[in-house]
Chains A and B, each alone.
Chain A
Amino acid sequence: MLSLHQEMLLLAVDDDGDIEFTAGTSTFRLAFVGACLIELALKDKIEVDPEEVRVISRDVDNDATLNLVMKRLCEHSTPQRLGFWLSHLQADVQEITRLTLMSLCDQGILKSEESRFLWVLSSRKYPVIDGTEQKEAKLRIMETLLGDSIPSTEDSVLIGLARAGGLLEAFLSRKEIVRLEGRLEQVSNLELTAGLVELAIQEEQEAIARAMLVSSYPI
C-alpha cells in the first residue's frame, strides 16, 4: 500500500506525466508536507496535539522522504507546534518531492523521462506506468464521497489533502465538487494532525488574501 505523500503526489501527475500546475502553489506545498507529517502520525512515529509535535520513534524504516522529515524534526531540542513544522519544512519541499517521486519510480509506478521544451529547456516528466495505483486512489475517493458511511482515517485524510491541494479538480468537474460539498465537509480530515494542517492552510490562504488586498489598495 502506498503512503499518503506518495498517493498525493501520484494524484498530481497528469496523463502526460507532467506534475499538475496546482503542485507549484504554496497551498499544495503545505498540504504535501502535511501529508508527510500525517503519515508519521498514522505510523505512530509522532504524536500531535494543538500545542506540539512530539517524536515517539525515530525509526521510519526505509522511507527516504519520511527519513528526511524525521531528521528535521529531531534537529530541534524543544517540541514545536505543527504550524511551525509546516513552514520550516518548506525549505526542503523540493527534496521531499524528489525523494517521493523517486520512491514511486523505484516501486515501478512512475517512470522518469527527460523531455525538452523548445529544444533548449529540459524538464523531467513522470509518466504513470500502468495507472493501477492512481486509479485505485481516485476510486477510493469517489467511493467514499458517493457513500454514506464513516471512512477509514487514511481515506478521509487523502480526501482532505486532495481537496486542500486543489487535486480534486483533476478528476471531478467543478459542478460535481459543488454537489458533493456537504459530503466533502463531513468526511475530510477526520484526524487531528490533518485537521491542524487544514487550519494552517486556511490561515495561509487568508494571509495571501490580506496581502493581495493591501497591495491592491495601498495606504
Chain B
Amino acid sequence: MEITKKEQGGIIVISFCGRLGFDEASEAQAVIESAISECQSGVVVDCGSLDYVSSAGLRAFLVGAKAAETKGVSFRACALDENVESVFTISGFDRIISLHATLEDALGQ
C-alpha cells in the first residue's frame, strides 16, 4: 500500500492507495497517529484509491478516531468505494467517523 500525506489549511490529508490488511495496518496506524499529533484542526483520510480493508486494517481508523477525539480535532474519511464503505457500515464506523463523498466535501470546500 502507498501512503501519501499533505497539509491543506491546517488539515492533514492522508491518502491510502491499494490494500489495507494485516500487513499494512501497523504502518497505516502510525501514519494516522502522527498526523493527528501534528495537525492543527483535523485529519482527512482520502480512501479514493483504497480498494480493500480488513478487520486488522480497520482498527487503524478507530485508533485515529479516538486520538482525534482526545485532542479535540476532526477526523474524517472520504471517497470510499462501495466495498470499503460496506466494511465501514458493517463495523459501525459510519457512526463514529464522518464519511464524505469527495475530498472537497471532507475539507469543507
Q: Report A's interface with B, CB cutoff 8 A.
A: 41, 44, 47-50, 56, 149-150, 152-153, 185-186, 188-196, 199
CB distance from B96 to the nearest CB of A (A): 5
The reply to whether A192 and B91 contact each other, CB–CB distance below 8 Å, is yes
B86:A149 contact, CB within 8 angstroms? no
A78 CB to nearest B CB, Å: 17
Q: How far in angstroms is the closest Cβ of chain A from B94?
A: 11
> Known contacts being A189-B91, A190-B62, A195-B90, is A47 close to B96, with CB within 8 Å?
no
Of listed B22, B56, B92, residue having the most chain A CB within 10 A: B92
Given pairs A44-B22, A192-B91, A195-B91, 9 additional interface contacts (CB within 8 A): A41-B56, A47-B55, A49-B53, A50-B83, A149-B66, A150-B96, A186-B92, A192-B54, A192-B55
Instruction: Answer yes or no: B105 CB below 8 A from chain A CBs.
Output: no
| Bound CA span A191–B58, Å | 8
Q: Which residues of B contact A193 (CB under 8 A)?
A: 55
Shortest beta-carbon distance from B77 to chain A in Å: 14
Minimum C-beta distance from B50 to chain A (A): 13
Closest A-B pairs by Cβ, 7 of them: A195-B90, A192-B55, A48-B55, A195-B91, A192-B91, A49-B54, A47-B22
Contact A150/B62 with A190-B93, A196-B90 known, Cβ cut-off 8 Å: yes
CB atoms of A49 and B52 under 8 A apart:
yes
Which residue of the partner chain, among A44, A47, A56, A153, contacts B62 with CB atoms under 8 Å? A153
Contact between A150 and B90, CB atoms less than 8 A apart: no
> What is the bound-complex CA distance between A189 and B65, given in angstroms?
15
Given known contacts A150-B66, A153-B62, A56 and B93 CB-to-CB distance under 8 angstroms: no
| Chain B residues, Cβ within 8 Å of A190 | 62, 91-93, 95-96
Q: How far is the CA of A144 from the CA of B15 in the complex (A)?
A: 32
A188 to B62 Cα, complex, angstroms: 13
* Residues in chain B near residue A41, CB distance under 8 A: 55-56
Nearest chain B residue, comparing its CB with the CB of A52:
B54
A143 CB, nearest partner CB in chain B, Å: 15
Cα A153 to Cα B66 in complex, Å, equals 10
Residues of chain B from 44 to 103 with CB closer than 8 A to chain A in the complex: 52-56, 58-59, 62, 65-66, 69, 83, 86-87, 90-93, 95-96
> Is A189 a contact partner of B92 (Cβ separation < 8 A)?
yes
From residue B64, how far is it (CB to closest CB) to chain A in Å?
A: 10
Q: How far is B26's CA from A56's CA once the two chains are assembled, in angstroms? A: 15
Assess the A50–B87 pair: CB atoms within 8 A: yes
B59: chain A residues within 8 A (beta carbon): 153, 191
A195 to B87 CA separation, bound complex (whole angstroms): 9
Q: How far is the CA of A150 from the CA of B63 in the complex (A)?
A: 10
A192-B62 contact in complex given A56-B22, A150-B69, C-beta closer than 8 Å: no
Query: Are the C-beta atoms of B92 and A47 separated by less than 8 Å?
Result: no
